[in-house]
Structure 1
């Protein structure tokens, strides 16, 4: 394990200078900063916690990176991880990345420097290459809800394309052909895959997709409401709408009801996730179940095994399948 003394020797500067660079102290020359940073990279040194400390049992902490800790979806994910952590007598440290590369990077570095033994990372901002480099450095790092080809055996993901295909195909089998789609405006693979699933289901059933049947918004209730406003304003002749997630579906339902449009008699709506909100809005939401609890449990178990050098059967990524949940917001078109 490299020490600050090793870094100072490699950089050709004093330990005091090395410490100033590490702690971003003022009055440090650019030459010294460059030399110390190069030495740290070469030696794999991290301030306060070399990455190898993740497997040293020097702490009982699991690091978790989510998009937004306040979002119900990620609350469910964290709860599932915490259940396993409690069984193992470990604690959680949680960071939010907000789908932003710099914020995700800073949060991961903080978790590493806090000597987390394992990491469960939900990242949409960092590149595949950077996540691969981190995974090579951090034995106990597992990626959830994303596929990174170079480290596929450390990825736990959902077939988002399949889920949106199921949702759209279910509407078609209920007699709907003019089907709108409310999509997340975030530039992430989940949004791309779900939109592609919607489009492929239409084409496979002989229905030509229409661009003006698709609206984008923030993946929350307000975004879903505004997207539905836009669809109504354009006077689209849709009889059903599929949505990126349950939160957007909830906003959509509220807007429709406020405008006197009966659900599902005049407009069928289907969500995605099967979160808590799907069970308690009216009418109860037909949706696609995202098994995030099971996925999160699998991810943290794998992370702990890897961090503790427990032999793991390596193979392809673990790809989970979504399922349809029939409730009351979709009906047969007359």
Structure 2
């Protein structure tokens, strides 16, 4: 934090051949958060917010401590505090929570949660931080049982118009929340719409971090192999003894034919990821009752195995260690 922007260095003769710095944008007052009774001005980028010290101190220990420091006698009134590294958009979103204009029961959009997490961690807004972390962890849980509860769609957040999974990955790395990375990576490579994977596969897309691109590409291949040997071991016709038809099969010919049909339906021409999906009833068509039960048991046990190995698939520590690495 700074109390004033640093003075610009004068150009010298050695600078004559270089391009001059672009002019700084003019300072503007926030149209929403400029309070006449405010006793502190926060300057973020080129936007100034006139706020109340008492409100900021109530929410943030960082600002509470800052305001106990005596100011120089020649400090303007109200004093201006420059916050480098922040964005005016993030602060506008956070101030919308601190100074709400209406009562809302709607789920927060991801961009609001991201802004609140960045700023609440940096300036210690503990209540906001804990609530945002809770929502992210419940949206991207570490247990398969919890994921099954939210697999139908977004439950604790709302989306904007853009695909945001890679933004979730970036935020998790930025703030230190690695426990949500395995599932987020899995959604990137195996989600239904797969819009994020399109960006991963585009080597010219500079918005994708190299570490994340490599993790997704390697994880994609590993996950396909892992699913085939665990969840879909009941479809493997090349391994003896065969899982299906089972030892208690009522009609080996019919069950064998049904399994072949399911195999071609799921994996021809292109394989898909199924770790994100529970057992499908239409896979049971033409399969006798004993074989159905064994196939489903194999699938469910294999899905749990895949989930437990999901962090390793993407080159991460196991679930338990990831939990201990979270900043909160």
* TM > 0.5 fold call: no
Q: What is the TM-score normalised by the length of structure 1?
A: 0.34
Structure possessing the higher radius of gyration over alpha carbons: 2
Q: What is the TM-score normalised by the length of structure 2?
A: 0.34
Q: Which has the higher strand share?
A: 1
